[in-house]
Amino acid sequence: MPIEDLQSAAQKIAGFLNTLNKLGGMRLKYRIAAGNGANDPEGADSHQLSVELSGPDTPLLIQHNGELLRSLETLGAQILRLDHHEYNLISFDAGNFKALRAQELKLAAEAAAEKVRQTGMPYSFPPMNSRERRLLHMACRGLAGVETASVGEGQNRFLVIYPEGKTDLPVKPQTRPHGFGRR
C-alpha cells in the first residue's frame, strides 16, 4: 500500500531527524525526496520516500556495515506506521553506502557462484538482513549453473548458493566475524 500523503510523511521524517540532531547530539544534514524523485540506490526497490544523510556524523551511520543507518530507516518506517512488508517504501542512505554495498554483494555473489560451479559444493553467506539476502538472490538469478535459497530463522537467516538442482545438499552457516555488527 503506498504512502498516502508524501508531504506529510516527509515532514514527519524531517521532524524525527531534527530531533535526532538536537536531542541526540548528531550532526547530520538531510535531503528528503518523495514520489518519482525517490530513487533506489540499490536498484532493487521502488521507494516512495528517500532520505539522503550527510554531514560530520556520516561515518557513524555506515560503520558496522551500516547498522545505525538501517536502524534509522526502521525507525522512520515505524514513525510512518508502515507494515513491516512496506518498509521498502522508505529508504535512508549516507555516503552512497547502499549502492556501494549492493555492488559489493553482487561481486561476492558472482565469486561464490563461480566457486560453487567449480567445486559442486554449496556456499553459505553469513547471516544478513532480508534486504541484503534479496540483493544476493537477484545477483544470482542470472548466473548459470546455480540456484539460491535462504535458510535459518530470524537473525540467523542466511543465503546459500547451491549447484543447480542440488538444493538437498547439506549446508553449514558461516559465523559472523568478531566485531561485525549484529542484526
Q: What is the pLDDT of residues 20-68, one digit of tens each?
A: 999 999 999 999 998 765 555 445 556 688 999 999 999 999 998 888 9
pLDDT by residue (tens digit) across 101-142?
Answer: 889 999 999 999 999 999 999 999 999 888 888 889 999 998
pLDDT attached to residue 55: 94
183 in a structural domain: no
Is residue 178 scored above 80 in pLDDT? no
Residue 2, pLDDT above cutoff 60: yes
Residues 89 and 124 both lie in one domain = no
pLDDT value at position 179? 46
Percent of the residues in the chain that have a pLDDT greater than 90, as a whole number: 52
Within a domain: residue 123?
yes
- Same structural domain for residues 77 and 107? no
Is 11 found in the same domain as 89?
yes
Domain range for 69 is: 6-95
Q: What is the DSSP string of 79-147?
A: HTT--GGGGGGEEEEETTHHHHHHHHHHHHHHHHHHHHHHH---EEPPP--HHHHHHHHHHHHT-TTEE
Question: Is the predicted pLDDT of residue 183 greater than 50, yes or no?
Answer: no
What are the backbone angles phi and psi of residue 7, rounded to the nearest 5°?
A: -65, -45
Q: According to the per-residue pLDDT averaged within each range, which of 3-17, 106-120, 153-167 is highest? A: 106-120
SS3 34: strand
28 and 10 part of one domain: yes
Based on the structure, what is the number of domains in the chain? Answer: 2
| Average pLDDT, rounded, for the chain | 85
Q: Please indicate, yes or no, whether residues 113 and 87 belong to a single structural domain of this protein.
A: no
**90 in the same domain as 122:** no
On whether residue 81 sits in a domain, the answer given is: yes
Whether residues 89 and 141 share a domain: the answer is no
Better-scored residue on pLDDT, 169 or 60: 60
